[in-house]
Amino acid sequence: MRNAILAAASVILAASIASFAAGGAKMKVTSSAFQGGANIPSKFSCDGANSSPPLQISDVPSEAKSLVLIVDDLDAPSGLFTHWAVWNISPQTSTIAEGSVPKGVQGTNDFGKSGYDGPCPPSGTHRYYFKIFALDRELDLPLGAKRGQLDAAIKAHVIVQGEWMGRYARKK
């Protein structure tokens, strides 16, 4: 049931994003720690220090009132596994330093904890998406809210988004 709800929320969110993205506007999120589509260094995973990689954010629209950062594994056996969710980040934020948390509100990840938990795939190579959303408002969600609550809160408020993908496979 949980997976069906998350899948439906993701579809709704994707449709909302697509409608905004159709105008050609895009925000950017990148990392100096790994190239887009390349392997994520193990220090950012459960096999290393499990610290968050440095992120750079650009092209935030002037009308944005807040940002949301979500890190997902779409190759997880459940179909979606959230590693980090932070909202109400200032739209003036342009960098998030390695191992730091942007000023905002953190949700509960799918490990059941608040904060970043890096890649830790059970098998094979998984793709990890670092997504940034610009919203037309701040969110009224409590600390520790879960992904379904976050998806529902942002679905009608996304102005534009960007994403950066990295891959990770555990060393055997």
- Longest CA–CA span in the chain (Å) reads 47
Q: How far apart are CA 53 and CA 43, in angstroms?
A: 9
Kindly state the average pLDDT of the residues 53-77.
Answer: 96
pLDDT at 78 over 50: yes
Which residues, 6+ apart, have CB-to-CB distance to 14 below 8 Å? Answer: none
Contacts of 146 (CB under 8 A, 6+ apart): 107, 108
Can you tell me the mean pLDDT for 9-27?
A: 50
- Model confidence over 162-171: pLDDT tens digits? 999 999 999 8
pLDDT for 19 equals 41
**Token pair listed for 40:** 């994520």
CA angle 100, 16, 64 (to 5 degrees): 50
15 has pLDDT over 70: no
Judged against a pLDDT cut of 60, whether residue 9 lies above it is answered with: no
Answer yes or no: is pLDDT of 97 > 90: yes
Residue 14 has pLDDT above 60, yes or no: no
At residue 74, does pLDDT exceed 80? yes
pTM (two decimals): 0.85
Given pLDDT bands bounded at 50, 70 and 90, which one contains residue 24? low
